[in-house]
Amino acid sequence: MATAYHNLSEYDFNSVPNAENMKFGIVVSEWNFNITGALLKGAVDTLKKHGAKNENILVKTVPGSFELTFGANQMMENCDIDAIIAIGCVIKGDTPHFDYVCMGATQGITELNATGDIPVIYGLITTNTMEQAEDRAGGKLGNKGDECAITAIKMIDFVWSLNK
């Protein structure tokens, strides 16, 4: 999505289902925690705004964004949750490390979605600069964490609607 055309925190509140009976796992990278911590806060606050209970939000940390796939997979296998939000931040540096971490995390999350039974929400922001990351973590472009929470709620509702 081009965030230049859409604020990450803007959405129609009334289009979001009630999350009171939904259970969420959030796996968050410790790397760039000034950014991922803000994304986490946005996600948790938005989940609660839509009725999610504290006891139904499980948050676990992993060292970096590359480890998000493993963390999400472990949550999927070992926790009673309806969706997982994977939160990370990779900022481009001077080496191709950025490309490998972004590609690996993206492919891993995609594979979990294709093979798993619950949705894994892509909350990895990949930017060229710290300023761009800050803009997406509660700055002028909103908070990607808000968007991830809304996506998780809507995807749980989607799955539940198929199982009625």
Residues with catalytic function: 97
The rounded distance, in Å, linking the Cα atoms of 43 and 41 is 5
Which residues fall in the annotated binding site for 5-amino-6-(D-ribitylamino)uracil? 31, 65-67, 89-91, 122
Low-confidence ranges of the chain (pLDDT < 70): 1-5
Domains and CATH numbers, the chain: 20-161 (3.40.50.960)
Give the relative orientation of helices 33-49 and 144-162 as an angle to the nearest 10 degrees: 50
User: Mind listing the pLDDT tens digit for each residue in 95-126?
Assistant: 778 888 889 999 999 999 999 999 999 999 99
- Residue 1 is predicted with a pLDDT of 45
Of 86, 79, 13, which is closest to residue 49 (Cα–Cα)? 13
Which residues fall in the annotated binding site for (2S)-2-hydroxy-3-oxobutyl phosphate? 94-95, 136
Of 28, 5, 34, which is closest to residue 85 (Cα–Cα)? 28
